[in-house]
Structure 1
């Protein structure tokens, strides 16, 4: 456990955690039910992400996990972390409250969210059909009709509480329709749903526990009565009716008690999370007028904007797991039997994974990598229904009330609990005389077509103007990019890159300017005579004033700023990420050296700036002057604790990997390109992929990648470069031999045959088995 940071004032440690480590003052002071965590959970856990990413909370009795990779690792490891406590009461109920629940024969037990394997996957596979994209698409007309009707009720009034008059009732109606439950007793069901949340994830007082128990008991009985009505005639299209029909085929898998529990849990899960997520999204967007105006002007941005709001402030803050064995999370020993609170909202604000993580960026193209829906075999089955509803709500409101604004000085109240978050009320106002439908009634007939599922990365790009072009060396063109309206650009960190889409080409270029400059992004493009045409097009066709489509920034070559010494190695245009790292290390006062090799000084980019800013720390190796970079001598002479960052030709990086094979943890590289990753359908062989966690078997044809096949089946696998360069699409291999074509895995990792990059690598044989 990292104790390098100074503790808060007073006693440095407060007791001992179950693993024997001392409890820090920050950990001892963490309160999940009041104060900062309830106001802004991600901000409240910033100290943890930065200094103590896995800590024990004595007040809660849980280990709290806050960083992206650690949260994701817990979700992935179903063998070590059980979901059995996901619906366990955070606050044990009193005997008096338990007596009330017994009076109602309350028996909430296993559901899809709290069941271990193999029972979980058997039931998930059996009930998956209703959640497939093609099946969910049937619900879209109803969602659009309801949304239109509800907005019609208040569009002429000028002020409304969106939660009370739209955001709660529509998701509840959709949830009931999806489940096959009659649309009745809406207010009662809302009270039941809130009571269920408080009962499971809240900290009610002894008096409140009695009221909550009464409501939960009645909720349980209500669910049972509806279920019995369905049994009499289960011919409808609802999910529960489908489950009843499947029960007749698989009675040992889909039991009576399971159906009763799923009926109650489904009513809550299918609507409360969507209502809260949409309220959170509207709050974020209406506070950022530029983003709101952008989606009003261009509805195609809505899917990505909704996803970014889910990342920033999803309705599910945290989830829970039980350690089934002694295990390590983020380097911290977690004893068997420990309870874990894994905070997805904190993970979604982790700057190690997301650039400028605390800012709203509706153009962010890796926002779908958020963990708000969970990850792995227990990822939310209803995620795509929630996405559909959020997008339609935003489309209707932005089209009909683009001039809507938040009512100022309103107090936002949230239900105190560990895991769910959304405002009780959200008041907005507008001038009805400015409603655009008064001038253009035809706009009511317009609609955007949103495909079911995660937003496509290709659909979103920001438009930037070429503010300046300047030669940086022989054959190297520097581009300065800015927002056409003069707005700030996203923050970025050294090692980050952008994807430039121009002239039918899409290429990635490292940022080499100043990360503190919010107005400009700088790249340098070398004309590649043997390339695929992208660099030549930029050199020959791009002019000052042109508008380019740009994705990013993104960073898969991140600089770890915690080391004492650094060795920066660049070859050719590989200097672009390296110079940004050098600038940062200089600013931090770190010990670093730059070793830069090139064909000749006139062809070495950014040389004047390097000599000016880094002086004696810069070592040059122009080949035409007889100076060659000796990789082995360089590594041997470097301090043994120096972190090595390198970007350049494959032969240079391969030499570094060979030289540092005994100590690979100190080497960090970025490749220019991944040769051989593009499909050649005429020579490829089709293969079969079994998704062990999903219970699916898919066919990967010769003309499609594994990643394309997974996405077509609705399997959310993160991806970025599509060329095997970034590692974001890595999947775990359980069986089968891999034809590795990436530039991410080292020789030892490839030999292990336990992982592959889905965007480019394929099976050597006829079948491969993945942990998906």
Structure 2
């Protein structure tokens, strides 16, 4: 299809408008107004979702928006564009205010001639799982979701492995191939058709139609192309109906569509004939195209980042984590669509009723407010599993586990049989012009067949690796670090310098980040306190806790220079808000570790701030010399042994607009700060905790309740003496965790229904009030039941 992009009717040329605005120095295009009557910025007027910049790098093309205008109106498209992680997630979360009903609407209206062609074929694509409102959506999703559970998908694993092996066999000795045409298009489509239950004799015909459906819905074909697309889509519709009728005559076979046909007599008002026809057509595209594009993107990324490709070749256990990071970095679904059902706002921007939204997951997945160093590929990234490539909330992609299975198996095959494979240099990557799906149309690779490992070791063909369909990769894969230095920082406090054993750079981190250190039986969280720009090492400070659980004693008494440790992270649940007007930093004792990194950042960026550091005496307070040197005029030190104490109430007596208080230290200090800021704006106080009793349960004070899992329909009973996390694990549900004290946020799960008794020290007041997430290691149900979106 062509990539011609014409301006909206009656609109001036975007590029000229933008250039004129920039030349005059005004960032606003006063000739354009959004639906609320406000002028449109020149950048927003110039945004072209069908242009080469967006097609090649959608996240990069919207970097300006994430930084300056995270929600903007595009007159070219007629949509409001949402670009930041939290805003995209909020839209996905609220499918009542932001209806999915336009998700399959043509983004480019067709000509009368093209519409006549569709009508002639009886095209009547209507509601499917992706564009249906409540309550109908959840009823149908629950009725049809069983074939998508990990347990049911396990039946397809052998088919996927066989298909992948057969296709690689065809070209293993060729030395050069276009992976898209030879494998990456074919295998996911065949798997999709088998999953749906399409008879073998109909597969070849249905393969021809899938690309036309994408262009029909999300592309911008020219008027001449629209007729050809409509013809293909119309035939696709007719033929899928014929295949469905064939299944109806004998619905006993395997597959999702026969499953739906068998369920129809039990729920005729929920699973209707027209609904099955629409799902038949949409399911082919959804199950095929996303996986094909995701795998193509992943292979390109890993081969371009050769060091990480070689890591997964050497250690295939990294493959599930690599898949999640590739989905974050370059997912197959760039953007999705919603429509506002009422006047509302997103990120503080007023959105009128009826406004159409383009919510750009690709941009959200590169939001530095959510992901440290988001434009770097890191297969050990601890937060990669939080990507939005499969959407979020009740409309999250049902087929995500099938896609993960296929991607993992294909990477297992390539890293085993073609570890020496490389991209053909200087090839040009092209993309099908559309707003929502992205992956190269061709991916040329080459290798020396004489170096194929199976020529000297045929036994490698017998290797079989497990696939991970339960999302346990959300925790990230630990990396190995060595102890470079151990320095005394104060009485009872040592500063540990950690580095990669091979001298490689460590991932970037932002102030407030922490890492998990794993040594012997211990796993402990420590804030990073060094220089974020120095990626040659990480620094943490550890205070010896004589009555602690043993981790700090291990560090002080047994850890030595040269020791090898495992490290997970960095993660950041204590992130500095870049939009604050001023910061008040408060630290007590070892709580100075995240605070000093925040203060360093504020000083480097020219932000207004002050530091209040409390301790017992000078000799017990870490980093005093460094603080005095770098922050002397901003620093106030309080030493209780000398009679100087922080008067928290006096410090925070007067709320100030745009001022945020960041604090870390002992619980009594944090409690005093919380009391002193009750009259401040909500969430003006941001804290990091280091102690918690949230994991302790007294069965005489607790009550039992049930937890229902919306994706599987399973109900798990949680006794009074057991955490939700423990109950889920006993039922075979794998939820990642780490501290298990409500401190780290690893065990977070989304909540669909029920009131949560929050006991964690991670969520903010506003997040708790929304009630849409909980920490399973400590929080419980207020009532008799909860429903989780897992």
User: Structure 1-normalised TM-score?
Assistant: 0.95
Query: Which residue does 1:330 correspond to in 2?
Result: 347
Query: Which residue does 2:29 correspond to in 1?
Result: 13
Asked if 1:363 is matched to 2:342, the reply is: no
Q: Partners in 1 of 2:449 and 2:771 — Cα distance?
A: 63
- Tell me which of 272, 290, 314 is aligned to 1:273: 290
Q: Partners in 1 of 2:321 and 2:699 — Cα distance?
A: 32
SS at match of 1:741: coil
Query: Which residue does 1:385 correspond to in 2?
Result: 402
TM-aligned CA deviation for residue 700 of structure 1? 2.8
Asked if 1:307 is matched to 2:328, the reply is: no
Query: For 1:157-556, what aligned pairs fall within 5 Å after superposition?
Result: 157-184=174-201, 188-457=205-474, 460-556=477-573
- Deviations along 1:74-96, whole A, 9 cap, x unmatched? 11111111111100000111111
Decide which moves more: 452-461 or 96-105.
452-461
- Deviations along 1:31-70, whole A, 9 cap, x unmatched? 1111311121000001111111111100100011011111
Query: For 1:734-749, what aligned pairs fall within 5 Å after superposition?
Result: 734-736=753-755, 738-744=756-762
Contact 1:503 1:537 survives alignment (8 Å): no
- Tell me which of 609, 623, 636 is aligned to 2:626: 609
- Deviations along 1:387-442, whole A, 9 cap, x unmatched? 00000000100011111100001111100000000111101011111111111111
**Alpha-carbon spacing, 1:138–1:678, altered in 2? closer, same or farther (3 Å):** farther
- Deviations along 1:93-146, whole A, 9 cap, x unmatched? 111111111111111111111111111111111111101111001111111111
- Deviations along 1:267-307, whole A, 9 cap, x unmatched? 11111110000000000000001110110011110001001
Query: For 1:95-110, what aligned pairs fall within 5 Å after superposition?
Result: 95-110=112-127
Decide which moves more: 26-35 or 6-15.
6-15
Query: Which residue does 1:3 correspond to in 2?
Result: none
**Alpha-carbon spacing, 1:243–1:652, altered in 2? closer, same or farther (3 Å):** same
> 5+ unaligned residues in a row in structure 1: which ranges?
1-5
- Tell me which of 678, 693, 705 is aligned to 2:723: 705
Asked if 1:595 is matched to 2:612, the reply is: yes
Decide which moves more: 563-572 or 523-532.
563-572
TM-aligned CA deviation for residue 733 of structure 1? 6.8
- Tell me which of 679, 688, 712 is aligned to 1:670: 688
Query: Which residue does 2:595 correspond to in 1?
Result: 578
TM-aligned CA deviation for residue 692 of structure 1? 6.8
**Alpha-carbon spacing, 1:678–1:318, altered in 2? closer, same or farther (3 Å):** farther
Asked if 1:155 is matched to 2:172, the reply is: yes
SS at match of 1:120: helix
Asked if 1:635 is matched to 2:652, the reply is: yes
**Alpha-carbon spacing, 1:207–1:703, altered in 2? closer, same or farther (3 Å):** farther
Q: CA RMSD in A?
A: 2.4
Q: Partners in 1 of 2:721 and 2:461 — Cα distance?
A: 41
Query: For 1:724-763, what aligned pairs fall within 5 Å after superposition?
Result: 724-726=742-744, 729=748, 731-732=750-751, 734-736=753-755, 738-744=756-762, 756-763=774-781
**Alpha-carbon spacing, 1:47–1:744, altered in 2? closer, same or farther (3 Å):** same
Q: Partners in 2 of 1:104 and 1:360 — Cα distance?
A: 46
Q: Partners in 2 of 1:589 and 1:619 — Cα distance?
A: 19
TM-aligned CA deviation for residue 9 of structure 1? 3.8
Decide which moves more: 614-623 or 531-540.
614-623
Contact 1:313 1:345 survives alignment (8 Å): yes
Q: Partners in 1 of 2:441 and 2:732 — Cα distance?
A: 33
Query: For 1:68-83, what aligned pairs fall within 5 Å after superposition?
Result: 68-83=85-100
Contact 1:733 1:756 survives alignment (8 Å): no
TM-aligned CA deviation for residue 500 of structure 1? 0.7
- Deviations along 1:199-247, whole A, 9 cap, x unmatched? 0000000110011011111111110111111111111111101111001
TM-aligned CA deviation for residue 724 of structure 1? 2.2
Q: Partners in 2 of 1:339 and 1:752 — Cα distance?
A: 24
> 5+ unaligned residues in a row in structure 2: which ranges?
1-19
**Alpha-carbon spacing, 1:714–1:407, altered in 2? closer, same or farther (3 Å):** farther
TM-aligned CA deviation for residue 617 of structure 1? 2.0
Contact 1:137 1:452 survives alignment (8 Å): no
TM-aligned CA deviation for residue 609 of structure 1? 1.5
TM-aligned CA deviation for residue 666 of structure 1? 2.5
Asked if 1:687 is matched to 2:708, the reply is: no
**Alpha-carbon spacing, 1:730–1:659, altered in 2? closer, same or farther (3 Å):** farther
- Deviations along 1:139-195, whole A, 9 cap, x unmatched? 111111111111111111111111111111111111111111123566653431110
- Tell me which of 574, 579, 585 is aligned to 1:568: 585
Q: Partners in 1 of 2:411 and 2:230 — Cα distance?
A: 36
Q: Partners in 1 of 2:519 and 2:342 — Cα distance?
A: 52
TM-aligned CA deviation for residue 326 of structure 1? 0.8
Contact 2:53 2:61 survives alignment (8 Å): yes
Q: Partners in 1 of 2:657 and 2:265 — Cα distance?
A: 66
Give the number of aligned pairs.
Answer: 766
Q: Partners in 1 of 2:705 and 2:599 — Cα distance?
A: 45
Contact 1:674 1:725 survives alignment (8 Å): yes
SS at match of 2:653: helix
SS at match of 1:636: coil
